[in-house]
Amino acid sequence: MDSDSKWGDPQDCQVEASFSGWYAKKVKVPEKRILGFLVQRAGEDTETVYGDFSTDRGEVVPDYLAADRKFKYRCGLIKAINVLSGSASMMTLYLDGFPNVLLNVANTEFGFDLRLENGPVAEIVYGGHCTRRGKMLHGRKDSFVSLIFKDQEQMREFVVATTTTPDPEQKTVYRSSGRRASGGSLLWPLAAGVLIGMSVGD
């Protein structure tokens, strides 16, 4: 992920973390003398200890531990493509400052904020097993996305609804809202089963 993005480093935005297991902990070693002779200098050593930490309990999970971590990151939305195929509906998000996201539309919500002046934004909730700043050992799992627009007109501009049929031999039929559709929006098949929030703050 792009830590140099104008939107900031995604892993600055940790919201949950938990760890349970054995790990190497640094401990201070005091100076030790016998009969006035120095037999051990003061310094640091490591020992293996068991730990059970969770931010849900108000505890701190050390950044250097590979733990289960969840993040919530806000960045710019470039385009959202909603694909309906039979009973399934998926959303592909192209984002500014974050890798592309593919989610079931049930894990996507829409909202509006009149204070948005620089285009729509997406808030992605994602997680994985990693140190605070390290690579996710088993890959990133995206769990939820909020798409926030200034108004419905901006939503129609940035969201494209695409319908496919279950038959793989048939061609995909594209339905886009266009720039200024005069005959009503073609976007609304996307909204089936999705509750649109009236206002979402920062």
Give the pair of three-digit tokens for residue 51: 């730990």
Please indicate, yes or no, if residue 8 is contained in any of the structural domains. no
**What's the pLDDT band for 26 if we cut at 50, 70, 90?**
confident
Range of the domain at 28: 17-65
Boundary (domain end) residue, out of 30, 65, 100: 65
Both 77 and 169 in a single domain? yes
Both 105 and 61 in a single domain? no
Where b means 16+ CB within 10 Å and e means fewer, 25-52 reads eeeeeeeeeeeeeeeeeeeeeeeeeeee
pTM above 0.75, yes or no: no
pLDDT of 23 above 80: yes
Which of 81, 147, 80, 156 lies closest to 110, judged by CA?
147
- Note the pLDDT of residue 4: 64
Q: How many domains does the chain have?
A: 2
Both 103 and 171 in a single domain? yes
Q: What is the mean pLDDT of residues 68-72?
A: 97
For the segment 135-170, what is each residue's pLDDT rounded down to a tens digit?
A: 999 999 999 999 999 999 999 999 998 886 554 444
Both 37 and 136 in a single domain? no
Both 74 and 165 in a single domain? yes
For the segment 100-140, what is each residue's pLDDT rounded down to a tens digit?
A: 999 999 999 999 999 998 999 999 999 999 999 999 999 99
Both 83 and 108 in a single domain? yes
Both 133 and 169 in a single domain? yes
Boundary (domain end) residue, out of 65, 88, 123: 65
Please indicate, yes or no, if residue 116 is contained in any of the structural domains. yes
